[in-house]
Structure 1
């Protein structure tokens, strides 16, 4: 009879016990913290953190304890922010001290510590942001408008041709779009298998970074010095494999882009822009690593988020045909059903804007962004709130978007609410704060808007009619990025001639 399971159980229990002792050395809840649920000795509130829909629990705590809630997990303070104003005060006005990141050993071991989301606010972070803005800034996005329009048309054609594979079509479309911006690839053949490689790298990045996944080495950092063959050290073997995948995604698409640049074949992208501003050969090894990480961040950073938003838009149109009909009528009134909408039409398509904002609010893909961290060397006092050094600062965006004091009937999909220009624009906070705001905000907004407008002009999105179909429901997966539960739909072409333009 095998003893592997009992032995591993004993090892895990021992590690957990040691972790509790190790983390408890710094004491309990500091005086002056904002209110929060009472915790246990040593553990703090660790057992109260939910495994699913954490933002709903944080919202409940906010109603009970106030707009800012403090909890403890071992010795780590978590400050949960349920208020837009407090989030802005803490993260925007005090950004010089609240833009730090937590150090995770599993992230370091797998090599992702030099990716932009994990960088501390250093010179390398600033340089990485500069690189991404070269490709994703507002001016650059204006230059990409014809490309956005071409890609939006491509997606609706693919969905009309292959409605049984919604998620795959959206996923490949999203990946190719980001890959084009980062590396200049133009189509699936040119991508040379990088789409699947990017998906794999993103899954690894998420597993290493997800705050709800606790790796033994993050609790007991000294374990990184133990040999990988010891029981309980499987994380070291996993990190070694992940590092190999990271090496591939950093180098293979980059070198593919460089070969195309040297042959004069590449489209405008981050790598070509850097090559134009100063020769790639002139970059030292460190700058080259920064550039490769910036390109990778563009490529995989928004993959799941964009997929979630677009899939949620199609889901909303199936579930709320009245919104789809009104959007179609608005687009038709501008285009006459004789042409596709363009960005020049946007001032005359306010309801399309309303749909975009409501999708972002109603189906928020990321209820929490990456936690900010208060400067590890100094405490802070913001608006009378004591923030201990090293605290994780978590904005409950999902809770804010379901706050009835901000949005009436928040669980209802109702784009008309955004005709009120004084209402909080979800795009203003969904992409983060201050120096940590996602540099892809302009890309996502433009691509999402033209995709919605093009879809409304060309397709009727309807519930499936087959008996074995997966009926659409307003339900999402749980995790760092929420995706609608897999569903089926029919994509009927409204005006076939428009798909041939």
Structure 2
């Protein structure tokens, strides 16, 4: 027997023992405590095969709430306790009024395995997370966002031009808008197409990595302890390890390529007003800690990842759909814009308070199909 095969067998035995230990511990704990109702767990793996994918999570959780007649539903996965809240009142009580207790994040081994640990939305509460929050609040509070208006308006006008020239591909134009705005705001990087290396790296990381994060879609996601094993290429299921290697490289490129672009621009004497460029200027002046590079890279990459998510893009697509279906709304909005703005220019942010009907359409689009219907799971601190 080869040394690599022996090592794999021993490692698998260790993982099996660990799973058995966790399962027995969870079984004993469940017998001692009273839990909310929920689907019956399977020995060793709990409810991991019952957990829905992100696409149908809302409907499955709502159905569980009706089936078990409870606003709280309990499930377990490989020894991890999961509490699903199906009541707005309960969610506000626990996640807002008691936020100091329930504002952390669960540890998801797959996040590190595929290189998504840059995304501070997954970070547990602590000093490192607070450093990310401080920078994001500095640059995304209401007053700071007003400074981004020129970039947003310029990109919106690019969208209008593309719609005029090629209306059939409105979804592609909308996606390009949603990724080009954060890339310019974060890095001063002007995205022209989806073939751009920075865009390709980020999109590839997000699309391929999603399957690993959702429990039950791959062997590694079912048994995250396997990520610690040295897996030879010939071993059954080793495709997941090779895929994870590729995603890690894409994640690294998505984080470092645009950051390096902003750094090169600054050193070439072409600074801009992007978040990264401003940070680098402060670093050169000695007013920013030397070890803040990683945090700034993480914040910038997280903003882009959130903006390029399909749910965010779907909000714009939903607007086009509603305008096509409800033409009377489109006509009223156009009449209001013509009356307030006139025919000699396009609307700007300064016109927003004078366009209540357009504002109502904007709010209804977000209400009807929220771009982020589910947040990242919370955990007790």
Q: TM-score, normalised by structure 2?
A: 0.84
| Rounded Cα–Cα distance in structure 2 between residues aligned with 1:47 and 1:246 | 28
| Rounded Cα–Cα distance in structure 2 between residues aligned with 1:38 and 1:47 | 11
- Where does structure 2 lack aligned partners over 5 or more consecutive residues? 1-12
1:56 to 1:18, Cα distance in 2 relative to 1, 3 A = farther
Question: Of 337, 361, 367, which residue of structure 2 is paired with 1:361?
Answer: 367
Alignment of 1:30-69 (within 5 A): 31-51=33-53, 53-64=56-67, 65-69=69-73
| Rounded Cα–Cα distance in structure 2 between residues aligned with 1:78 and 1:338 | 56
Query: How many residues are matched?
Result: 362
State the shift of 1:306 in Å: 2.8
8 Å contact from structure 1 (residues 186, 267) kept in 2: no
| Rounded Cα–Cα distance in structure 2 between residues aligned with 1:326 and 1:212 | 48
Which residue number corresponds to residue 248 of structure 1?
Answer: 253
1:17 to 1:256, Cα distance in 2 relative to 1, 3 A = same
Which residue number corresponds to residue 160 of structure 2?
Answer: 156
State the shift of 1:222 in Å: 4.8
Does the alignment pair 1:275 with 2:267? no
Which residue number corresponds to residue 184 of structure 2?
Answer: 180
**Deviations 1:468-491, CA, capped at 9 Å, x for gaps:** xxxxxxxxxxxxxxxxxxxxxxxx
Q: Secondary structure at the match of 1:266?
A: coil
1:80 to 1:25, Cα distance in 2 relative to 1, 3 A = same
* More RCO (CA 8 Å, sep 6+): 1
1:328 to 1:165, Cα distance in 2 relative to 1, 3 A = same
Does the alignment pair 1:342 with 2:348? yes
Which residue number corresponds to residue 6 of structure 2?
Answer: none
Alignment of 1:143-222 (within 5 A): 143-188=147-192, 193-211=197-215, 213-216=217-220, 219-222=223-226
| Rounded Cα–Cα distance in structure 2 between residues aligned with 1:128 and 1:285 | 15
| Rounded Cα–Cα distance in structure 2 between residues aligned with 1:228 and 1:37 | 37
Which residue number corresponds to residue 74 of structure 2?
Answer: 70
- Where does structure 1 lack aligned partners over 5 or more consecutive residues? 1-13, 376-501
Which residue number corresponds to residue 297 of structure 1?
Answer: 302
Which residue number corresponds to residue 82 of structure 1?
Answer: 86
8 Å contact from structure 1 (residues 19, 219) kept in 2: no
1:35 to 1:322, Cα distance in 2 relative to 1, 3 A = farther
State the shift of 1:159 in Å: 1.1
8 Å contact from structure 1 (residues 106, 239) kept in 2: no
| Rounded Cα–Cα distance in structure 2 between residues aligned with 1:308 and 1:150 | 21
8 Å contact from structure 1 (residues 36, 61) kept in 2: yes
1:199 to 1:364, Cα distance in 2 relative to 1, 3 A = same
**Deviations 1:260-300, CA, capped at 9 Å, x for gaps:** 12233233111122123332888777532222122211222
| Rounded Cα–Cα distance in structure 2 between residues aligned with 1:328 and 1:19 | 64
Higher helix share: 2
RMSD: 3.0
Does the alignment pair 1:319 with 2:325? yes
State the shift of 1:253 in Å: 0.9
Question: Of 114, 135, 149, which residue of structure 1 is paired with 2:118?
Answer: 114
State the shift of 1:44 in Å: 4.0
Q: Secondary structure at the match of 2:26?
A: coil
